[in-house]
A and B are shown apart, each in its own frame.
Chain A
Amino acid sequence: MPPAGIWIDGLIQSCIYMTMAFGMVLVFSILGILNWTHGQFYMLGAFVVYYGIAAAGMPLPVSMLISAVLIGGLGMLVEKFIIERLTGPGYGPLYVTVATLALIFFFEGASGMLFGALDKGLATVLPGVLDLGSFSVSYQKIAVIIFTLIVMVAMYVVLNFTKVGLAIRAAAQDPVAASLHGISVGQVSLIVMGIGCGLAAMAGGIMAPVYVINPFMGRTPMIMSLLAIIIGGIGSLTGAIVGSIILGFLNSVIAYRLSYISELVLFLLVIIILLVRPQGLFGASRK
């Protein structure tokens, strides 16, 4: 039985990937595409927060909101000018995939040029640790957990009790019927892309104090949240949440037990899941 510290770590891991995975699934369920650039929005969000705090001296929540707005807008631009053009009839999923993959290079290169090569950090934000006897947890990580809870609740409310949310869910279930009921699917996907990227940016913001900030920090979270949504089932929001919880705990427990083999185990697990039950644990099977 791993020590409590590992389980806490697993919980934090799950929270880290949950917000990102949620955003990805949201985008997937409306636009029907995997946004491979998601990790880079996470990275950009972290940078915005960094400069918000280090340069402009704003408090963390404020700069997180700002980064959510900015990066959400950026995501909308990407949707408007790139994704929308590549999801018309006759386009396979390949075009969007390649375009978003190319955007990875674009954003990483751009931020590499803008922000320089030195790693950045925000250790001064929420310093200190909460001592729990056998182990201790930093306030930054506790903040991550709280943030994730807030986001999840907020998303639940938005999706269930607001007009936008209802429109989103309608469009997700049946675009045609939704458009017949006067919901512009185009607008909805724009909004959803904004929300998804905003979530990614906020995740990056809340993670900025915890980890190192550099232009390439987006890759691992991207892959991890991708694996998470596959475990949970592509296109299912509950799936995203459960998937990232499973992944988070698996990740730290396996790493604790088997060290670096964890990587291999995760990929194998994903392949098996996709072969046995492609729609994942919670996904509705789309034949």
Chain B
Amino acid sequence: MKRSYSVAIILVIALILLGIFAIASAQKPAQAQTSEANIVKIGLPMPLSGPASPWGLIPTPFREAWIEVFNREGFDVAGKNYKLKLIQVDDQNSSEGGAAAAKQLIYGDGCKFFAGHWSWNFPAVAAVTNPAKVIFVTRTGNQALPKSWGGLYDPKTMPYVVFGSPSEEIFIANVFALVKKFPESKQLGMLDCTLGAGAGWDQVFDVLKKAGIKYHMERFPLGTTDFAPYITRFREAGCKVVYIAGWVGETMQFAKQRWEMGYKDMVVGSSGPFVNIDMYNTVCGHDAAQGLIGQYWAPWDYKKTKVNPKYIAMCREALKIAAQKTGKPYEYTGEIGWVPSHTLILVQAMQKAGTVTDTDAIMKAIRGGTFDTTAGKWTMSGAKTYGSPVVFGSPSALCEIKGDKEVYLTEDPTPPLL
């Protein structure tokens, strides 16, 4: 062991520690700004690293653009003008990471509002936000369903959770829309990852059984790239339509492979907005991508849902800014029903309650209140079903890929729960 060696070691460790502290101090400014009175901080634990990171990355330009557009006017509460500040933290797409991120946001940055999460960590995050009386606006689906439905959401222990996007209801509505659209299909095929199993699906099955619709469910292990066996199984079960839960890469590979296997007439839908039509065309091939069905969030095309033109203008503006910032054409509209509408719910509730700090008052304003958002004008309701009066409605529109555009397909506005 030479002396220089140990010196090198100490150097490296010094570097590592230095890095840690540098990063630690990197978040100091964020904390410094907590003192600024007219800023309302909204936390957003999102997957910024790992396989799920696209969900954090792709919408970010639009998110920031939206906040920027929104802050041009800001919003007045009790005669004082406030601006929004969105803080994203990496939740590593895990419960542990989600809890850690939530704690940083609440106790480090002093956020009193969360505009959602995307990962599999609803319970972990909710367990952090509720004791801290932080309003957590999120979506229904897989774990985030009431106990009575086998989910993990308990209105008594989680009084500060607001379901601002009824993903579960949207999913069910879309399924029915598909069945209506393709009556010739004897059986509806449905595909999800093994991780997706749980309360959400049980609900879907119940509803389908009640409606007397035959379905065939398949699940694939995480990381599956070859869907030939599943496609064959769907084929043999006689499924003309296959609806895939939210997995973008898997959806594209499924569509591509069903095309290659010669089952060109098999309709493939995905319960999620299209990320980027160009991507679908380059991955699946132009022909295979045609007719892919996905959720549709562009409010300017809605025929049944009325969306405030002001917000439509703001969304288009935000899309433009995002395109300028990224330097590429930016067409991901999926975010419109997410952070923008969630922030609008929060803001309007604050205005109703006349406070930006007293979360209890704001919750009172949210319960049963009516909110005008980028996803339409809806009344928080669902008391009968959820045991919690804080579920929102949605246009639940569908679109399909035609050429290199996504075109409006159907729309059946979903009030909170069917």
Contact = CB atoms under 8 A, between A and B. Distances in A.
Contacts of A162: none
Residue of B218, B221, B260, B288 ringed by the most chain A CB atoms within 10 A: B260
A255 B275 CA distance: 29
Interface stretch (A25-33, A64-72, A129-137): A129-137
Interface in B251-268: 252-253, 256, 259-262
A138 B260 contact: yes
A117 B288 contact: no
Interface in B353-406: none
Contacts of B279: 118-121
A182 B230 CA distance: 54
Contacts of B226: 9, 12-13, 251-252
A124 B286 CA distance: 8
A88 interface: no
B285 interface: yes
Contacts of B261: 5, 135-136
Contacts of B221: 260, 262-263
Given A5-B232, A9-B229, A260-B221, A124 B282 contact: yes
B232 A119 contact: no
Contact of B284 (A123, A131, A217, A255): A123
A256 B262 CA distance: 17
A69 B86 CA distance: 45
Contact of A121 (B50, B260, B282): B282
Interface in A211-264: 211-212, 214, 216-217, 219-220, 223, 251-253, 255-256, 259-260, 262-263
Contact of A259 (B53, B219, B225, B283): B219
Contacts of A9: 226, 228-229
B233 interface: yes
A9 B218 CA distance: 18
B225 A212 contact: yes
Contacts of A13: 226
B157 interface: no
A120 B284 CA distance: 10
A112 interface: yes
Interface in A104-140: 108-109, 112, 116-124, 127, 129, 131, 135-138, 140
Given A129-B260, A220-B223, A121 B283 contact: yes
A161 B224 CA distance: 39
A102 B280 CA distance: 32
A260 B232 contact: no
A3 interface: yes
A217 B260 CA distance: 21
A256 B57 CA distance: 35
A140 B390 CA distance: 50
Contact of B229 (A117, A119, A129, A256): A256
B interface: dominant SS: helix
**Chain B CB within 10 Å, residue with most, of A136, A217, A251, A259:** A259
Contacts of B51: 216, 219
B284 A135 contact: no
Contacts of A38: none
A212 B252 contact: yes
A9 B258 CA distance: 12
B229 A6 contact: yes
B249 interface: yes
Given A5-B232, A216-B51, A121 B284 contact: yes
A137 B232 contact: no
A120 B220 contact: no
B282 A135 contact: no
Contacts of A214: 54, 249
B33 interface: no
B201 to A, nearest CB: 13
Contacts of A122: 282
B285 A252 contact: no
Contact of A212 (B53, B232, B233, B283): B283
A283 to B, nearest CB: 26
Contacts of A109: 49
Nearest to A207: B225
Interface in B267-299: 275-276, 279, 281-286, 288
A260 B279 CA distance: 27
Contacts of A219: 51, 223
A124 B285 contact: yes
A97 B391 CA distance: 49
B256 A118 contact: no
Interface of B: 49-51, 53-54, 57-58, 194, 218-221, 223-226, 228-230, 232-233, 248-249, 252-253, 256, 259-262, 275-276, 279, 281-286, 288
8 contacts: A6-B228, A112-B53, A119-B248, A119-B279, A212-B249, A212-B252, A259-B220, A260-B219
Given A118-B58, A121-B252, 8 more contacts: A120-B282, A123-B281, A124-B282, A211-B225, A212-B252, A219-B51, A219-B223, A253-B229
